[in-house]
A and B are shown apart, each in its own frame.
Chain A
Amino acid sequence: MERETGVWRLVFLALPLGVFTVLVIWPLASSFYYSFTNWNGFSDNFEFVGFLNFKKLWTDKLFFNAAVNTAIWMVAAVLIPTLLGLGLALLIDSRIPGGSVFKSIFYFPICLSAVVVGQIWIWIYQPDWGLLNVAIGAVTNTSPDFAWLAKPDTALGSVIAAWCWQHTGLAMVIYLAGLTSIPEDLLEVCEIEGASTWQRLRVVIIPLLTPATVVVVALNVINSLKGFEILYIMTGGGPFNSSDTLAMHMYNESFKKYLMGYGSAISVVLFIVALTIIGIYFRELKKVDEIYG
């Protein structure tokens, strides 16, 4: 009987495990494999080059540029939507008039694909008739024609702004759910103990929102690591690699320069970075679980 149950377990697990193996394990293992080769992506003839691709990373200025941009991208793409989401959630939770309408409006962008969001913001950033320059012109009474996406100084920041616009709503909704799960009597204790609004926020609400923060940060980290499409649509990593991230650099090396082996080495580095972040996340999650259950 027990053996029969075991067989059925294997049968039912076979399909998801098969899909997982084909779509995740196999490509991952392939990346590791090809990172030690000089494969160009097409030819059957390639050689094992050992750690040569990884050594090359140390001397690749574009890789370092992409790594710095990735760090900026990740910090901004995690911090800004998290903080804005928290702020908006607190504002809407304070029962401002029209709160539910604002909630829907702020949440709407997350329903759009990155390609659509990218295109909307390309229009907003248009030098001649884009909404941003028109708005700045209306306020300053000038006619600015600043090319936000075409300048190395502003390209990455402009894409980050578009990214934050899309992802703040999700953080807000998660924080709103977190706020509603704070027991009312804890807030009443604050009232009885005479906590000011700031004390209530700092000592009680923000710490009690830790489980929500863990979810928001995790989602933002994962999404930012995967944040390739919007960069590809809006800047393609340019101008002059100023918005090049590791994911973009990997794509360019693998599929534009046909250096699949080197691209795989970049993907391995990216994988290790992601694994480290996820490891830290799980460690923190355990701590949160110990406190909040």
Chain B
Amino acid sequence: MARLVLDNITKSFGTVQVINGIDLDIAHREFVVFVGPSGCGKSTMLRMIAGLESVSGGRIVIGDRDVTHVAPSKREIAMVFQSYALFPHLTVAENIGFGLRLANTPKVEIDRQVGEVARTLQIEQLLARKPRHLSGGQRQRVAIGRSIIRNPKVFLFDEPLSNLDASLRVQMRLEIARLHQRLDATMVYVTHDQTEAMTLADRIVVFNAGRIEQVGTPIELYEKPANTFVAGFIGAPSMNFIEARIDSSGGAPIARFGPASIPLTGTGNRFPPGDVTLGVRPEHIVFAEGRTPDFEATVEIVEKLGAESLVYLQTGFSADPVTMRVSPEHPVKPGDSLPLCLDRGRVHCFASDGAVI
């Protein structure tokens, strides 16, 4: 069983604390993705799990073993780096069998295991080549091969697809997902690409400024973000934020912004009067179509993406454009004035400190 437990992990560089008390329990065979903006501490956390970075405080447990101060090679982990980290002077076969060679494994056994891994990753025909003569995707496969051959309890991926082009990234994403299904291992994956996070993860951990903002399944994070940071970070295009004021004078709470008055579900107590931020996903802004519109907006730009179109709207109540997702067949064009409504059951309400109400 390869459960991974992070218990109150802290990390400081001098007087600067970059990881502030991370607690996380990752189950055996779980695929957990760390996401967050650059400098949020997600890669540092991964490197601490690998043992490449020392821990300032707290405990790391893999399986039943406290590995906090154990050497990286004894942690039963394997790591795939963003840069692939292949040795340029070694062939693909030598790169994959690198660890076995260091362990003085007999050559016959190294060849057998390398062949097996190469078959799994469909890179048998590349075994004699040097990394320089491989494409980005092939290099990444070799790097994954080197980690598979270790038969680790925990796989660590540090932004492994960042250097690949868009189409190859989708392909490799699929391969990593297949690999996870096939292998009996726990995987921790770091990325700043939230599409990768949403598609690969059993659970996503959203990091910000060395803290965990929220942990949950991709759908939980998308539908029930804990705060404005998670709400804004998860989902592409981002959630729209609208500054509003809660008015509970009439009993039921009403959010007012510009000309709009949106009755909110819930009691007056849950929505205390005052300033709030409303969060609305682009697909939850809809055409009024006969209903009384909540507000009117002017179309600024239309992005036609094929499967859908994104419409950027100018409104009287927000300095930033409001994004709306529409069907690609819709004949909307810049300059149109649109009567719009919010899908009221899907409006998120955040307090002034950013936390969801």
- Rounded to whole Å, the gap between the CB of B51 and the closest CB of chain A is 8
Instruction: State the CA gap A291–B132 with chains docked (Å).
Output: 7
Instruction: State the CA gap A291–B130 with chains docked (Å).
Output: 7
Whether A192 touches B88, Cβ cut-off 8 Å, given contacts A183-B83, A290-B132, A291-B132, is no
Instruction: State the CA gap A210–B89 with chains docked (Å).
Output: 9
A111 within 8 A of partner (CB): no
A203 touches B101 (CB 8 A): yes
B73 touches A185 (CB 8 A): no
Instruction: Considering the complex, give the chain B residue whose CB is closest to the CB of A208.
Output: B89
B52 touches A191 (CB 8 A): yes
**Most chain B CB atoms below 10 A, which of A196, A203, A292:** A203
Contacts of B73 in A (CB 8 A): 191-194
A185 touches B132 (CB 8 A): no
Instruction: State the CA gap A288–B6 with chains docked (Å).
Output: 44
B50 touches A194 (CB 8 A): no
Neighbour of B102 across the interface among A199, A207, A290, A292, CB < 8 A: A199
Instruction: Considering the complex, give the chain A residue whose CB is closest to the CB of B81.
Output: A185
Contacts of A290 in B (CB 8 A): 130, 132
- Rounded to whole Å, the gap between the CB of A9 and the closest CB of chain B is 34
Contact with B along A189-206 (1 / 0, CB 8 A): 101111110010001100
Instruction: State the CA gap A138–B99 with chains docked (Å).
Output: 51
**Most chain B CB atoms below 10 A, which of A183, A192, A199, A210:** A192
Contact with A along B237-255 (1 / 0, CB 8 A): 0000000000000000000
B50 touches A189 (CB 8 A): no
A128 within 8 A of partner (CB): no
Instruction: Considering the complex, give the chain B residue whose CB is closest to the CB of A207.
Output: B89
Contacts of B81 in A (CB 8 A): 185, 188-189
Instruction: State the CA gap A293–B146 with chains docked (Å).
Output: 23
A192 touches B89 (CB 8 A): no
Contact with A along B82-107 (1 / 0, CB 8 A): 01010111000000001101110000
Instruction: State the CA gap A204–B98 with chains docked (Å).
Output: 10
A186 within 8 A of partner (CB): yes
Neighbour of A189 across the interface among B85, B89, B103, CB < 8 A: B85
Contacts of B291 in A (CB 8 A): none
Neighbour of B74 across the interface among A194, A291, A292, CB < 8 A: A194
B88 touches A208 (CB 8 A): yes
Whether A192 touches B79, Cβ cut-off 8 Å, given contacts A203-B102, A291-B130, A291-B132, is yes
- Rounded to whole Å, the gap between the CB of B134 and the closest CB of chain A is 12
Instruction: State the CA gap A185–B160 with chains docked (Å).
Output: 13
Contact with B along A264-293 (1 / 0, CB 8 A): 000000000000000000000000001111
Contact with B along A166-183 (1 / 0, CB 8 A): 000000000000000001
Instruction: State the CA gap A204–B102 with chains docked (Å).
Output: 11
Contacts of B103 in A (CB 8 A): 194
Whether A188 touches B132, Cβ cut-off 8 Å, given contacts A193-B73, A194-B74, A203-B102, is no
- Rounded to whole Å, the gap between the CB of A185 and the closest CB of chain B is 4
B355 within 8 A of partner (CB): no
B87 touches A204 (CB 8 A): yes
B235 within 8 A of partner (CB): no
Instruction: State the CA gap A56–B144 with chains docked (Å).
Output: 65
Neighbour of A191 across the interface among B72, B78, B150, CB < 8 A: B72
- Rounded to whole Å, the gap between the CB of B55 and the closest CB of chain A is 16
Whether A183 touches B102, Cβ cut-off 8 Å, given contacts A192-B77, A291-B132, is no
Instruction: Considering the complex, give the chain B residue whose CB is closest to the CB of A189.
Output: B85
Instruction: State the CA gap A59–B322 with chains docked (Å).
Output: 95
A192 touches B83 (CB 8 A): no
A194 touches B99 (CB 8 A): yes
- Rounded to whole Å, the gap between the CB of A198 and the closest CB of chain B is 11
B170 within 8 A of partner (CB): no
Instruction: Considering the complex, give the chain B residue whose CB is closest to the CB of A195.
Output: B102
B52 touches A292 (CB 8 A): no
Instruction: Considering the complex, give the chain A residue whose CB is closest to the CB of B53.
Output: A188
Whether A192 touches B98, Cβ cut-off 8 Å, given contacts A207-B89, A208-B88, is no
Whether A186 touches B87, Cβ cut-off 8 Å, given contacts A191-B52, A191-B72, is yes
**Most chain A CB atoms below 10 A, which of B71, B74, B83, B88:** B88
- Rounded to whole Å, the gap between the CB of A106 and the closest CB of chain B is 28
Instruction: State the CA gap A186–B87 with chains docked (Å).
Output: 7
Instruction: Considering the complex, give the chain A residue whose CB is closest to the CB of B101.
Output: A203
B residues in contact (CB < 8 Å) with A: 50-52, 71-74, 77-79, 81, 83, 85, 87-89, 98-99, 101-103, 130, 132, 146, 150
22 pairs from A and B in contact (CB 8 Å cutoff): A183-B83, A183-B85, A185-B81, A188-B72, A188-B81, A191-B72, A192-B73, A192-B78, A194-B71, A194-B72, A194-B73, A194-B99, A194-B103, A195-B102, A203-B98, A203-B101, A207-B89, A208-B88, A210-B89, A291-B130, A292-B88, A293-B132
A residues in contact (CB < 8 Å) with B: 183, 185-186, 188-189, 191-196, 199, 203-204, 207-208, 210, 290-293
